A and B are shown apart, each in its own frame.
Chain A
Amino acid sequence: MFKDESSYSVNPAGEGLPAWSAEAMVVAHSAPVLARMERYMARLALADAQRVWIRAQVIRQLQEVTVDQEALFARAFASLHQALATLGNGDELDARLDLSLNKPVNAAQDVRSCRWLQQQVAPAIRRSTMASLPMDRSWLGAVSRLWQTLFKRSKVLVSRRILTGEV
């Protein structure tokens, strides 16, 4: 489940400070990439602390590898999803789903959000058969049955089973 600022230290005591200049370089060179990441996170309605933490993760990942401009967006987005997955106990789809459904942070849950939603949308299937029964629709048959009813008195009024509790 999600972890808020109480679970995650946004900037653990002084960590990262030595790399401050390298981080600034990344931010300066990847402004459009980070802008898009911000846009993405804005659509997810993350808490501020979560957003800052994810941003830091993305920047750190970009710092660690050297990629050409073409792959920069893909790399950044992959990092963002990786960070989201960390928030969602290993699955970024679950994390996004929890945010979409406004589920409470750290809610106790037996199944993953994705599976839970599938269970809610439709109950478990228990198959029955439903096939049309044979019915003689011919007029000749109808005339024959009428004949029997009128002159042979062999009609059966109802062929339904008597039900329990029925008067």
Chain B
Amino acid sequence: MLRTSARPWETVSRYRRYWLSAFIILPACSAGLMLDQVLADRLPLWLEIPTLLIFSMLFAWISAGFWTALVGFILLMTGRTDTAPGSPELRLAEPNPHHKVAILMPIYNEEVERVAAGLQATFKSLQRAGALAHFEFFLLSDTRNPEVWLREELVWSALCESLDAFGKIHYRRRPVNNKAKSGNVADFCRRWGRDYEYMVVLDADSVMNGETLYRMLEMMEGNPQVGIIQTQPVAVNRETLYARLQQFAQHLYGPIFSAGLRFWQLGDGHYIGHNAILRTAPFTEYCALPVLPGRPPLGGPLLSHDFVEAALMARNGWEVWFVPSLSGSYEEVPPTLIDDLKRDRRWAQGNMQHLRLLAGEGLRSAHRFLFINGAMSFLAAPLWGLFLIIGALGSLHWAGGSNDDTVTPFHWGSAIDPLPFWLFGVTAVLLLSPKWMAILWVARQPGRRQQFGGLFHLVLSMLMESVFSVLMAPIRMAFHSQFVIQTLLGKGVRWGAQVRGDQETSWRVALRFFGWCSALGIVLVLALYPFLGLWHFVWLVPILGGLIAAVPLGAWTSRPALGRWARQQRLFVIPEEVRVPEELQALDSDSVAYLPHIEGDAFVQVVVDPRFNAIHSALQRNRTGLWPRAASLCHKALEEGPQQLSHRERNILLSDRNSMLSLHRAVWSMNDRKRLTAWGLESDDQDELIHEAGQ
């Protein structure tokens, strides 16, 4: 039996989206018409039309953000969480004791101790909540580096031993990394999905509160029509100035945007790929990702999978809810501007690919809008760039035609039309007012105010964050434009591990990465100033200033010392720093100090150390097909030393139990000192003899 009637929230959401569309389209058209009045007499048609088109598009783009923030602000100020009929928060149910939840942590060449700390924190939090019986953990490794792989195995066994969690924490390494993270999760679904009613997908740096996980389970149990529930993870734990700026902005402005987003989306919500619970059966049945025809970057496997998975889930009648009121969901942001831009490079390509799904049959309009919105996050940059270039050409044309020498920043003269100032003012309000709304909302709550370091420091932090945002906007614009152009020209991006630690950017690296931005800024200043004159040039100062400052901004904002200093001054403080939740306290490096460390070459250690060798060998199977190749590699390792083996050769040996046992026995049976030294055993034997001689 199929359902053909609309669900209760659908009617509500339809009207809300009509209003949103009207709020976006009508002011954008009005602003375009106003600008047209200014430009009509001053610019030729070939400059006027593209200026108006791009301006209207960009105006619509920023006004969508503004209306979302305004709605969220009103909801939060009136203390009303949005509880439209059908909201999953309204129906909680006691979990069926037979329903199990798999908590998936896909990892790829990650810092193993950090992953272990996050997993341990979530595990203990579930234990405290008394909900552990429903949950099992899966570390799904796509790691290619044999050193990291071996550390993962050793840490997994130590973690299970210390938490008494054998059978509760599982580990699987996938030797072939087909379709990256989405392929990793799909592999879980194919192997074990049938045994788990739900799965919670985490990132390598995610931490979740046990109570929150249990609440999500209750929501899924109470709402059998819901396919995905997405939480709003908050950024925590970073120390660099850049990351602290991001954390602060996300904590301050995030809630109003989230509340607004939820208002428009309702059951057609989004999924960001982590910190969400998913119903496994429909996910397995409907959410396998299509491979786009053609070659990457615009064809081939989808690089950003999450939005598409949500769209496919909704396409098949399942609801996707974003529930920002679920607290206790944490993530970490990239520590530096460079790392952030590297992530943006992948997202840019992924979001551009989504445009090829826009006409997809059966997709819901809300998800088509999300595809456009995601792509616009990156397409807006070249559009801004184009708008500035056209604006500069227009200014040249205008300056050349007006012959008005009286125009200076301080003496505008009678020739200046006030309309552009109105448009500039409206644009500034659209961009900056959400920041003030967030301040007002926080200021209204005395407890919350203190969690941001007090009202004075909150406002000061917001102003400073705005300055940094303005300065970094042209840098992002330059890079995003580069990413879009690269993608359109067919230059793809490779899947790489993310930087999770607070690593600062050296001046040399900053110069190599941002040098071209600063050079571009200087060239533009030298080229434009003589032609534009002071008055027209002043308008470009924020943009050119940001570009010129790219190198020092990239280097300085990556400094953890500056971040710590800001914290001492109570700047960019976030609530989780004032009152640290238990899960985040458990991330302290001391919490995983007990985990075994591998000194030196991990491959040598796994061959030589009898305990490590036993754990690793026990986890492998005999790959008889590999034996002829493995035998020659064993011979090579013993004759020439382990250092002569490549990563690939090591991976072959490591994946075969028989080879690992044979190497272990052969190395301990060797009599040749030179070869023993290569395996780090000769010094051991000498030490022993010296020790005995001493006795």
**Interface status of B161 (Cβ within 8 A of chain A):** yes
Q: Contact check, B611 vs A135: say whether CB atoms are below 8 A apart.
A: no
Among B2, B192, B614, B689, the residue within 8 A (CB) of A123 is B192
Chain A residue nearest to B613 (CB atoms) is: A96
Is A18 part of the binding interface, using a Cβ–Cβ cutoff of 8 Å?
Answer: no
Residues A123 and B170 in contact, CB atoms below 8 Å apart? yes
Q: Which of A102-130 contact B (CB under 8 A)?
A: 102, 113-114, 117-123, 125-130
Most chain A CB within 10 A, of B356, B614, B661, is at B614
Shortest Cβ gap from A156 to chain B (Å) = 6
A32-B689, A129-B190 given; A121·B156 CB < 8 A: yes
Q: Is the CB of A127 within 8 A of B669?
A: no
Instruction: Give chain A interface residues in 63-78, CB to chain B under 8 Å.
Output: 69-70, 72-74, 77-78
The CA-CA distance from A72 to B670 in the complex, in Å, is: 9
Query: A17: CB under 8 A from chain B?
Result: no
| Pairwise interchain contact A159-B316, C-beta atoms closer than 8 A | yes
Which A residues touch B610, using CB under 8 A? 40, 43-44, 96, 99-100
Let me know if A152 is at the binding interface, CB within 8 A.
no
Asked whether B646 is an interface residue with its Cβ less than 8 Å from the other chain, the reply is no
Instruction: Say yes or no for A163: interface residue by CB 8 A criterion.
Output: yes
Q: Which of chain B's residues have a CB closer than 8 A to the CB of A13?
A: none
| Segment with Cβ contacts to A, from B444-452, B501-509, B615-623 | B615-623
B612 contacts the other chain (Cβ, under 8 Å)? Answer: yes
Cβ of A158 and Cβ of B611 under 8 Å apart?
no
Query: Which residues on B sit within 8 Å (CB–CB) of A12?
Result: none
- Report how far A139 CA is from B358 CA in the complex, Å: 9
Binary CB contact string for chain A from 124 to 167 against chain B (1 if under 8 A, 0 otherwise): 01111111110111110110010000000000111111111110
The reply to whether B288 and A132 contact each other, CB–CB distance below 8 Å, is yes
- CB-CB nearest in chain B for A101: B161
Check B2 against A161 for contact (C-beta < 8 Å).
yes
Question: Could you tell me which residues of chain B, from 309 to 323, have a CB within 8 Å of some CB in chain A?
Answer: 312, 316-318
Q: Is the CB of B5 within 8 A of A100?
A: no
Look across to chain B and name the residue whose beta carbon is closest to the beta carbon of A129. Answer: B190
Q: 8 Å CB contacts to B: which residues of A12-46?
A: 31-32, 35-36, 38-40, 43-45
Distance, CA A131 to CA B284, complexed state (A)? 8
Total A-B residue pairs with C-beta atoms closer than 8 Å?
A: 177
Give Cα distance in the complex from A33 to B648, angstroms.
Answer: 34
Most buried by A among B5, B191, B192, B618: B618
* Bound CA–CA A165/B225 (angstroms): 9
**Tally of contact residues, A, Cβ under 8 A:** 62
| Interface status of A97 (Cβ within 8 A of chain B) | yes
B residues 1-38 near A (Cβ < 8 Å) are 1-7, 10
Q: Which residues of A contact B359 (CB under 8 A)?
A: 137-139, 141-142
User: Chain A nearest CB: distance from B92 CB in Å?
Assistant: 13
Verify if B361 is at the interface (C-beta below 8 Å from A): yes
Given contacts A35-B689, A43-B609, A165-B224, contact A141 B166 (CB under 8 A): no
Bound: A164/B194 CA distance, A: 19
Q: B294: shortest Cβ distance to chain A, in Å?
A: 12
Q: Do the beta carbons of B671 and A160 come within 8 Å of each other? A: no
Contact present for B284 and A114 (CB under 8 Å) = no
CB–CB A135/B224 < 8 A:
no
Known A97-B618, A100-B614; judge A69-B671 contact (CB<8 A): yes
State the CA gap A45–B357 with chains docked (Å). Answer: 59
Which residues of chain B have C-beta atoms less than 8 A from A39's C-beta? 684-685, 688
Expressed in whole angstroms, the minimum distance between the Cβ of B265 and any Cβ of chain A is 17
Whether a CB of chain A sits under 8 angstroms from the CB of B665 is yes
Rounded to whole Å, the gap between the CB of B123 and the closest CB of chain A is 15
Take A121-B172, A123-B170, A135-B361 as given contacts and tell me if A158 and B317 are in contact as well, using a CB distance cutoff of 8 Å.
yes
Q: Are B615 and A100 in contact (CB under 8 A)?
A: yes
**Beta-carbon contact of B360 and A118 below 8 Å:** no
Q: How far is the CB of B292 from chain A (nearest CB, A)?
A: 8
- On chain A, the residues within 8 Å of B611 by CB distance are 43-45, 96, 99-100
Other-chain contact of A73, B170, B356, B612, B669 (Cβ < 8 Å)? B669
Is B362 on the interface with A (CB-CB < 8 A)? yes
Question: Which residue of chain A has the shortest Cβ distance to B669 in the bound complex?
Answer: A74
CB of B171 within 8 A of CB of A158, answer no
**Which residues of chain B are near A165, meaning CB under 8 Å?**
224
A160–B76 alpha-carbon span in the complex (Å): 34
**Which residues of A lie under 8 Å from residue B661 when comparing CB positions?**
93
Which of B6, B317, B357 contacts A137, CB < 8 Å? B357
* Any A CB within 8 A of the CB of B157: yes
Query: Are A36 and B288 interface neighbours, CB within 8 A?
Result: no
Partner of B4, one of A70, A129, A158, A163: A158
Whole-angstrom distance between the Cβ of B137 and the nearest chain A Cβ: 12
Chain A contacts of B1 at CB under 8 A? 161-162
Are B288 and A130 neighbours in the complex by a CB distance under 8 Å?
yes
Residue of A with least CB distance to B283: A130
Residue among B195, B225, B619, B692 making CB contact with A126, cutoff 8 Å = B195
Contact A166 B688 (CB under 8 A): no
Q: Which A82-104 residues sit within 8 Å CB-CB of chain B? A: 93, 96-97, 99-102
Contact with A along B572-614 (1 / 0, CB 8 A): 0000000000000000000000000000000000000111111
Is the beta-carbon distance between B191 and A127 smaller than 8 angstroms?
yes
Query: Does A3 interact with chain B (Cβ within 8 Å)?
Result: no
Q: Specify which chain B residues have a CB less than 8 angstroms from the CB of A158 in the assembled complex.
A: 2-4, 6-7, 317
Closest A residue to B85 using CB positions: A167
Q: How far is the CA of A77 from the CA of B284 in the complex (A)?
A: 50
Which chain B positions have C-beta within 8 A of A131?
288
Are A122 and B688 in contact, with the CB atoms below 8 A? no
Query: In chain A, what residue has the closest Cβ to B693?
Result: A31
Nearest B-chain residue to A145, judged by Cβ:
B361
For A97, the chain B residues whose CB sits under 8 A away are 614-615, 618
Residues in A neighbouring B160, C-beta threshold 8 A? 120
B195–A113 touching, CB < 8 Å: no
Give complex CA distance A152, B361 in Å: 17
**B180 nearest CB across to chain A (Å):** 15
Q: Does A81 contact B (CB under 8 A)?
A: yes
| B360 A136 Cβ-Cβ under 8 A | yes
Of A35, A102, A156, which contacts B161 at CB under 8 A? A102
Cβ of B356 and Cβ of A137 under 8 Å apart?
Answer: yes
A159, B317: Cβ atoms closer than 8 Å? yes
Report whether B692 and A31 are in contact in the complex, using a CB–CB cutoff of 8 Å: yes
Establish whether residues A117 and B615, one from each chain, have CB atoms under 8 Å apart when the complex forms: yes
Q: Which residue of A lies closest to B189 (CB)?
A: A130
A125: nearest chain-B partner, CB-CB = B191
- Nearest B residue (CB) for A142: B359
Please give the distance in Å from A49's CB to the nearest CB on chain B. 18
Complex A-B: 14 CB contacts under 8 Å: A35-B685, A43-B610, A78-B669, A102-B161, A118-B619, A120-B167, A132-B289, A132-B290, A136-B361, A137-B290, A142-B361, A160-B3, A160-B225, A161-B1
Q: With contacts A73-B668, A137-B357 known, what are 12 further pairs, Cβ within 8 A?
A: A31-B689, A96-B610, A97-B615, A121-B619, A127-B194, A130-B189, A130-B285, A131-B288, A133-B312, A137-B361, A142-B359, A161-B2
Would you list the 8 A-B pairs with minimal beta carbon distance, nearest first?
A160-B317, A96-B614, A142-B359, A100-B611, A74-B669, A35-B688, A132-B288, A136-B361
B interface, CB within 8 angstroms of A: 1-7, 10, 156-157, 160-161, 166-167, 170-172, 186, 189-195, 224-225, 284-286, 288-291, 312, 316-318, 356-362, 609-615, 617-619, 661, 665, 668-671, 681, 684-685, 688-689, 692
A interface residues with partner B (beta carbon < 8 Å): 31-32, 35-36, 38-40, 43-45, 69-70, 72-74, 77-78, 81, 93, 96-97, 99-102, 113-114, 117-123, 125-133, 135-139, 141-142, 145, 156-166
